[in-house]
Chains A and B, each alone.
Chain A
Amino acid sequence: DADVTQTPRNRITKTGKRIMLECSQTKGHDRMYWYRQDPGLGLQLIYYSFDVKDINKGEISDGYSVSRQAQAKFSLSLESAIPNQTALYFCATSSSSNQPQHFGDGTRLSIL
């Protein structure tokens, strides 16, 4: 079983819809992250969380919200999806600041 699991793996939806992407981990890490990747670009940080009570904005948080339901679960929501949010979304975890982040396999999201 994967240590960092993202659901769904693929999603196609329409402009204006609310979308939730889910991430769960079995690594026991406190820190969790959401990134997006656009074609030809690197990963950009959307939100990150150090624990259940701690949520922080990343570089590109506008249009997104997150919820840290438990140590193992971190979900990303698009309240009203727009086409330029079409991208590949990755969740990641880490045990501390100077340890590598471990990524899920991504969610490919297309907004029509």
Chain B
Amino acid sequence: DQQVKQNSPSLSVQEGRISILNCDYTNSMFDYFLWYKKYPAEGPTFLISISSIKDKNEDGRFTVFLNKSAKHLSLHIVPSQPGDSAVYFCAAKGNTDKLIFGTGTRLQVFP
């Protein structure tokens, strides 16, 4: 049973526009959520996180929104840049040390 779901395998966005990546989870005990970015032949790189006591966290062009009632989080990138083209994973954890990852969304930002 997939506890963290990224239902869009891919997303294509024009440079300068907003990219919105979505993630749904099923476990109400999750209280810490992260987004990772992964380039080919490299490991995932931490991007931004949010704890369940907040509904928004912002870092430069990246904002994560958390809707606990809907068990949904999203990552907004604005403006999108070609260098943002990568695979994005959301991940969640509860009161254990185990991170549960989604299957990833491949973002392509074109000129």
Flag if A42 contacts B46 (CB, 8 Å): no
Interface membership of B49, Cβ < 8 A: yes
Within 8 Å CB of A59, what residues of B? 98
With an 8 Å Cβ cutoff, the count of chain B residues facing the other chain is 24
Enumerate B39-57 residues with CB–CB distance to A below 8 Å: 41-46, 49, 51
Flag if A100 contacts B34 (CB, 8 Å): yes
Enumerate A47-63 residues with CB–CB distance to B below 8 Å: 48, 50, 56, 58-59
Interface membership of B11, Cβ < 8 A: no
Which of B13-21, B58-66, B74-82, B101-109 forms part of the interface with chain A? B101-109
Interface membership of B30, Cβ < 8 A: no
Pick from A40, A90, A97: contact of B44, CB below 8 A. A90
CA gap between A48 and B103 in the complex, in Å: 21
B43 CB, nearest partner CB in chain A, Å? 3
Pick from A31, A40, A92, A104: contact of B103, CB below 8 A. A40
Interface membership of B25, Cβ < 8 A: no
Flag if A101 contacts B41 (CB, 8 Å): no
Flag if A90 contacts B43 (CB, 8 Å): yes
Classify chain A: how many residues form its interface, as a range: 20 to 34
CA gap between A101 and B44 in the complex, in Å: 9
Which residues of B come within 8 Å of A, CB atoms? 4, 9, 32, 34, 36, 41-46, 49, 51, 89, 91, 93, 97-104
Give 19 new A-B contacts, CB below 8 A, not counting A42-B102, A100-B46: A31-B97, A42-B4, A42-B89, A44-B101, A45-B98, A48-B98, A56-B97, A58-B98, A90-B43, A92-B43, A97-B97, A98-B51, A100-B34, A101-B46, A103-B45, A104-B43, A105-B43, A106-B42, A106-B43
| Cross-chain pairs A/B with CB under 8 angstroms, 22 sampled | A40-B9, A42-B101, A42-B102, A42-B103, A43-B44, A43-B99, A44-B101, A45-B98, A48-B97, A56-B97, A58-B98, A97-B93, A100-B46, A101-B46, A101-B99, A102-B46, A103-B36, A103-B43, A104-B43, A105-B41, A105-B43, A106-B42
